[in-house]
């Protein structure tokens, strides 16, 4: 069982998009890690180093100069407060900021006795009594320094939030990345798959028209090599079929000439059993030669393929045969499918199927149906049908279910073979099966023209 998608283009787009998206996710995870352990902690380190420098400078001066130094150290990002601010309902929390800054202060003030540090980190969004902070994101950091003489100073700063980037609208970002990757993958895949599509269509055209133009050699090296190989095969098939046609034309001319001379000699004989017997022999030989020529003519390339209305062709054929006295009925379809084919060859193939049904089943019923990109023509008779094990055998040239050697009762045995040859020459298939209600059904499946 094949799982969707089934086309090379869709599968390649999914693979490329998945790889692109996976690499993007991995990149975001790496960025998340570096952001938490490098970029974000760098902000805490920078803040701690600033405070350390200010405190060490202020601690070296007496009390009267210390306030001026602390006041002069205020910046846009670091403010001084005369005393510890009330928590405002927001509890201090312990996170990487607090731990990292405490470690930094501990190492810097290890040799300065009497200096004590307290750090309170609060979520800015949880502080409801601080004006100007509506919509602000990050952490409110209060660093309290206790000097040896009992004085204390409070430094205030806001550090960026260390929450995960997954808290951001990352799904929208991923959707944009996925759409972009699908567009890029689709563009690249179309460039790769388009030559393969042309290769497939060219191979299909060869089966319908052996004299179709060669495939243009373009695209990647692998596709160019395949196009060259297909063109070489096309040329060899053309040579083979044309030689076969020329040989059969020459043989048919010689056979017809010999039969004509033989018929003249028979006509010169006196009336009698010998003359009647030879006349029947020459007539049988003419029919056999004509049957072989019709069989070969199924792949004749003199007639050029064109688009035609299949229902109109079948209706005309059935009407002509009905006028000749054959019991043939055409079921008018509800649609008019178009096919690409040779009208004369198709008419000859369907005529063989219809006459075969009339000969062995007494009547023929022709119906037309559509199945997706294909059209199915069924020819049903009302005869006894054929044994299941013989359904494939009767398609072979010169095979006859009726075992007598008489051409009047069994024919040459080329009717179905000729029809199959014509159908296959149009890229279709011919199949036989017994109808549950009795009789034999010959089903012809042809590709529908778009």
DSSP letter for each residue of 293-348: HHHHHTT--SSPPEEEEHHHHHHHHHHHHHHTT--EEE---SS--EEEE-HHHHHH
Residues 6+ apart with CB under 8 A from 225: none
State whether 30 and 146 are in the same domain: yes
pLDDT score for 324: 92
Domain limit, last residue, from 282, 302, 322: 302
State whether 326 and 385 are in the same domain: yes
Q: Is the residue at 318 inside a domain?
A: yes
Structure letter (DSSP) for residue 53: H
State whether 296 and 409 are in the same domain: no
- Between CA 278 and CA 268 the distance in angstroms is 12
- Between CA 193 and CA 111 the distance in angstroms is 73
pLDDT score for 15: 80
- CATH assignment of the domain containing 211: 1.10.287.130
State whether 308 and 419 are in the same domain: yes
- Between CA 215 and CA 228 the distance in angstroms is 8
State whether 270 and 366 are in the same domain: no
- Between CA 192 and CA 66 the distance in angstroms is 75
The whole domain housing 429 covers: 303-447
Q: How far apart are the first and last CA of the chain?
A: 29
Q: Is the residue at 189 inside a domain?
A: no
Instruction: Give start and end residues of each alpha helix (H) in 149-220.
Output: 170-208
Domain limit, last residue, from 302, 319, 350: 302
State whether 324 and 430 are in the same domain: yes
Q: Is the residue at 177 inside a domain?
A: no
Q: Is the residue at 184 inside a domain?
A: no
pLDDT score for 89: 46
Structure letter (DSSP) for residue 58: H
- CATH assignment of the domain containing 336: 3.30.565.10
State whether 330 and 409 are in the same domain: yes
Instruction: For the chain, list residues with pLDDT below 70.
Output: 1-3, 35-37, 39, 81-91, 126-137, 161-171, 291-292, 294-302, 401-413
State whether 290 and 237 are in the same domain: yes
CB atoms within 10 A of CB 191: 11
Q: Is the residue at 172 inside a domain?
A: no
Bond from prior residue into 5 cis (ω within 30 degrees of 0): yes
Bond from prior residue into 224 cis (ω within 30 degrees of 0): no
CB 199 within 8 A of CB 218: no
Structure letter (DSSP) for residue 268: T
Q: Is the residue at 181 inside a domain?
A: no
- Between CA 142 and CA 292 the distance in angstroms is 105
State whether 157 and 232 are in the same domain: no
Q: Is the residue at 173 inside a domain?
A: no
Q: 251-286 burial, b if ≥16 CB within 10 A, otherwise e?
A: ebeebeeeeeeebeebeeeeeeeeeeebeeebeebe
Domain limit, last residue, from 302, 319, 352: 302
> Structural domain tally of the chain?
3
Q: Is the residue at 191 inside a domain?
A: no
Structure letter (DSSP) for residue 285: H
State whether 433 and 386 are in the same domain: yes
State whether 281 and 309 are in the same domain: no
Where on the phi/psi map is residue 292: left (φ > 0), alpha (ψ -120 to 50), or beta?
alpha
State whether 244 and 160 are in the same domain: no
């Amino acid at each position: 069982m094949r799982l969707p998608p089934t086309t090379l283009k869709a599968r390649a787009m999914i693979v490329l998009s998945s790889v692109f998206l996976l690499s993007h996710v991995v990149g975001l995870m790496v960025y998340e890690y570096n952001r938490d352990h490098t970029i974000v902690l760098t902000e805490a380190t920078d803040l701690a180093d600033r405070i350390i420098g200010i405190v060490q400078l202020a601690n070296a001066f007496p009390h009267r100069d210390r306030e001026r130094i602390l006041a002069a150290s205020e910046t846009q990002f670091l403010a001084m407060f005369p005393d510890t601010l009330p928590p405002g309902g927001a509890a201090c929390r312990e996170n990487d900021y607090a731990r990292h800054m405490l470690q930094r202060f501990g190492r810097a003030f290890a040799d300065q006795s009497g200096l004590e540090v307290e750090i309170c980190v609060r979520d800015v969004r949880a502080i409801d009594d601080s004006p100007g902070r509506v919509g602000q994101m990050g952490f409110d950091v209060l660093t309290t320094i206790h000097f040896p003489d009992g004085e204390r100073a409070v430094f205030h700063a806001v550090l960026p939030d260390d929450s995960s980037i997954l808290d951001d609208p990352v799904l929208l970002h991923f959707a944009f990345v996925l759409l972009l990757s699908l567009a890029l993958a689709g563009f690249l895949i179309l460039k790769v798959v388009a030559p393969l599509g042309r290769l497939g269509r060219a191979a299909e055209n060869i089966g319908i028209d052996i004299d179709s133009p060669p495939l243009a050699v373009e695209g990647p090296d692998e596709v160019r090599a395949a196009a060259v190989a297909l063109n070489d095969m096309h040329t060899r098939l053309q040579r083979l079929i044309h030689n076969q046609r020329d040989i059969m034309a020459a043989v048919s001319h010689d056979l017809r000439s010999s039969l004509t001379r033989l018929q003249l000699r028979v006509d010169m004989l006196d009336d009698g059993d010998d003359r009647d017997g030879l006349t029947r022999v020459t007539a049988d030989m003419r029919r056999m030669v004509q049957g072989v020529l019709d069989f070969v003519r199924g792949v004749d390339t003199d007639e050029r393929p064109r688009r035609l209305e299949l229902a109109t062709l079948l209706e005309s054929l059935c009407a002509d045969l009905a006028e000749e006295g054959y019991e043939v009925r055409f079921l008018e379809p509800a649609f008019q499918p178009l096919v690409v084919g040779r009208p004369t060859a198709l008419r000859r193939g369907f005529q063989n199927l219809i006459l075969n049904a009339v000969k062995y089943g007494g009547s023929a019923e022709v119906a037309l149906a559509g199945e997706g990109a294909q059209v199915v023509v069924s020819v049903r008779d009302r005869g006894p049908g054929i044994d299941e094990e013989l359904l494939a055998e009767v398609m072979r040239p010169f095979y006859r279910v009726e075992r007598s050697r008489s051409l009047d009762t069994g024919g040459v045995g080329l009717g179905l073979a000729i029809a199959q040859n014509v159908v296959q020459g149009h890229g279709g298939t011919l199949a036989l099966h017994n109808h549950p209600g009795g009789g034999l059904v010959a089903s012809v499946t042809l590709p529908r023209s778009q």
